[in-house]
Each structure stands twice: as structure tokens, then as C-alpha cells.
Amino acid sequence: MAELGYGIIGCGVIAPFHLLGVNKAKGAKLIAVCDIISEKAEKFAKDNNIPAWYTDYKELLKRPDIDIVSICTPSGLHSEMAIETAKAGKHMLCEKPIDITLPAIDKMLDAVDQANVKLGVMFQRRTYETSQRIREAIQNGELGKMVLGDAYLKYYRSQAYYNSAGWRGTWELDGGGALMNQGVHGIDLVQWIMGDVATVYAKADHLVRDIRVEDTAVAVLTYKNGAYGVIEGTTSVYPGEETRLEIHGELGTIILQEQTIKKWVVLGQDSKPQDLTPQGESAKVGGTSDPAAIGTIGHERGIQNIIDAVLENKPVYCTGIEARKAVEIILAIYKSAKTKKEVKLPL
């Protein structure tokens, strides 16, 4: 098998998960990293025996031996860096959210299309067997007419967390708060399972933390299939709760807590797919109260997926078009909270 050259742009909290993913993957080798803080880039490279480090990502992109990069920078920089990556003819895996505004995302997607390169987005909850089985059940009509699709996304982040980096909790680079940074995973997952959202009506504000963006939000959704739903997202409650999705149809109920199926009751159905729930380290999702305390299996799968997509011309598991949907829902929630009106999608 050919071995691709891999690079990581951004050596912050999430970079070690991409490092681990590349090191465990088949078909690629990590050969360069980049961070605007030279000490951080140098330390990350030397601590992990990575041959080269840079402070200018464009210099990294000039390397002919780099085939794929992970973009692990603040959210509001994703589009700019992805466009330059596409121009350099490199494939990429972008951390969530894909970016923080729809115009930026659309420019990014256009650049990727024009360059004919691969773009995957790290929504790792889509890779879990339990998530995939639930989506399959909805698509197959096992729950009958859909009634409710709820997402409870209750994280804890201290004031010290927001103070730890100048971009955190800002509209300019974080793009929002509890929803755009933490809750985006659950919002992506619930819409992927339930289908596209038609309208939202919401409230969002910073109730506890000294930040400009929201630390608490609630929203009522209407899905295009006619079902209703609720999103509750926060970083202001201690100690936080595990992400929970509650899916209800006229014929049954499925409750997913992180990767664990807590309930699967469907009228006339004997099989209960609770046995899909993984055990041990592979069951870990985390991040409820500590952004670094997350499981690694999702990143491992995501990185292997982008490598396979390049080597074998396979599709990525989460495209840019798909990743755009969660951002659009969040932006609609923000608009509704500001205008105090129901907001229709698309924006």
C-alpha cells in the first residue's frame, strides 16, 4: 500500500487526537505540524518524533510530500485555511464546526470542488454503530411516523476554560458558545438521524459565564418530516451531563446516551439492538466537563476514512455539504433568539 504524507495544522487541545489517529492508521505517516506559536509547534513535533514543524501553514502546504492535512485551528479560520489547502492540491480533514458563517463555508466548498480534492469533517459520532443503527431504523420506517427528535447537550466549561485562549467564547473566531463549539456534535447527530430542520424558535444567552456568546440555549424545532424536537445546549451547568438523544415515533422510542442505547422499544419488534453498544475504551465519548477527556475511536475512524478516501477514491463519511447543516441550524437558533421570532430554514 502507498503511504501518504500527513500534516496537522494547529497544535492545540484536539491535535493529539489527530496525532494518535494518524499513528494508528494504515496508509499514512505524520511528517509535519504547524502552529502560529513556535514553542507549541516545536514542542509538539519534538515530543512526538515528527520530522518538521512550521509557524506558517502555507509553508507546510508547499511540501510536495504532504498529501492530507488535518485542520485543527479555531473555527473561524477553517474556511481560509481550507481554501489555501485546496489551492495547494492537498486533501483535508477539518475539525468541527466546518466554519462559523454560511458564506465562509460556501467559499470553502467551492474551492474544494474546483480543486477536486477530498474534504472530510470530524463529526465522529456518525461513525458509531449505535448512531448508524438508529438512523437506519428511522429511514426504514421502523418507528412509523416520526413525532419527536430531542437533543440534550449539557456540558460544563469553567470561566478559566474560556479565559485560556483568546478566541474562546468569541463571535469572531468561536462563532458562538455552547451550541457552536460543544453542542454542534449533538445537533449534527440529531439532524442526521431525524432529517432536515424546517423551522426553529429559540432563546440563547450567557447566563453564567463572562463571555459574549451563549452559555445556555433552548430551541423548539420543526423537522421537514413534520416531527417536533427540542435542543437544550449549555456549558453553564455543573458537572454537566452525558449527551442524550431521545427519538420517538408513533411505533416506538429509542434513547441514545453517548454511545449507549438506553432504550429501544418498538411495537412488534423483538430484537433490541442494545448489544451494539461498545464496551471498554471504544465506548468512551466524554468531553462533558473536560474537552481533552474524550474517546479516541471516532478520530481514529475519521482519519482512516480520509486516508482510504484518498488512496481508494472512496467517499468521506461526513462531507462539507452535510457538515454545513449543523451550522445553519445553530445560526438559525441565534437569529431566532435575537429576533424573538420563529426562523425558517434554509437561511
For residues 275 and 259, the answer to whether their CB atoms sit within 8 Å is: no
* The pLDDT value given to residue 283: 64
Residue of 273, 237, 239, 234 whose CA lies nearest to 256:
273
* The pLDDT value given to residue 274: 62
The DSSP 8-state label assigned to residue 280 in this structure reads G
pLDDT interval class at 185 (50, 70, 90)? very high
**pLDDT tens digits, one per residue of 210-231:** 999 999 999 999 999 999 999 9
* The pLDDT value given to residue 221: 98
* The pLDDT value given to residue 289: 84
**pLDDT tens digits, one per residue of 46-104:** 999 999 999 999 999 999 999 999 999 999 999 999 999 999 999 999 999 999 999 99
- Rounded to an integer, the average pLDDT of 289-295 is 84
For residues 257 and 286, the answer to whether their CB atoms sit within 8 Å is: no
* The pLDDT value given to residue 39: 98
User: Which grid cell sits at 97?
Assistant: 464546526
Q: Is the peptide bond before 291 cis (omega within 30 degrees of 0)?
A: no
User: Which grid cell sits at 79?
Assistant: 474556511
* The pLDDT value given to residue 2: 74
Among 41-50, 206-215, 265-274, 335-344, where is mean pLDDT lowest? 265-274
pLDDT surpassing 90 at residue 45? yes
- Rounded to an integer, the average pLDDT of 13-33 is 97
* The pLDDT value given to residue 287: 80
Among 17-21, 240-244, 273-277, where is mean pLDDT lowest? 273-277
Specify whether the backbone of 143 is left (phi greater than 0), alpha (psi in -120 to 50) or beta. alpha
CB count, 10 Å around CB of 123? 25
Q: Determine phi and psi for 195, rounding to 5 degrees.
A: 110, 175
Q: Determine phi and psi for 140, rounding to 5 degrees.
A: -80, -5
* The pLDDT value given to residue 212: 95
pLDDT interval class at 116 (50, 70, 90)? very high
Mean pLDDT of the chain: 95
Q: Determine phi and psi for 237, rounding to 5 degrees.
A: -110, 135
List the domains of the chain with CATH numbers: 4-125+298-321 (3.40.50.720), 127-291+326-344 (3.30.360.10)
User: Which grid cell sits at 93?
Assistant: 480533514
For residues 266 and 252, the answer to whether their CB atoms sit within 8 Å is: yes
Give percent of the chain above pLDDT 90.
91
Q: CA-to-CA distance for 332 and 200, rounded, in angstroms?
A: 7
The DSSP 8-state label assigned to residue 157 in this structure reads -
* The pLDDT value given to residue 25: 97
Q: Is the peptide bond before 346 cis (omega within 30 degrees of 0)?
A: yes
For residues 82 and 110, the answer to whether their CB atoms sit within 8 Å is: no
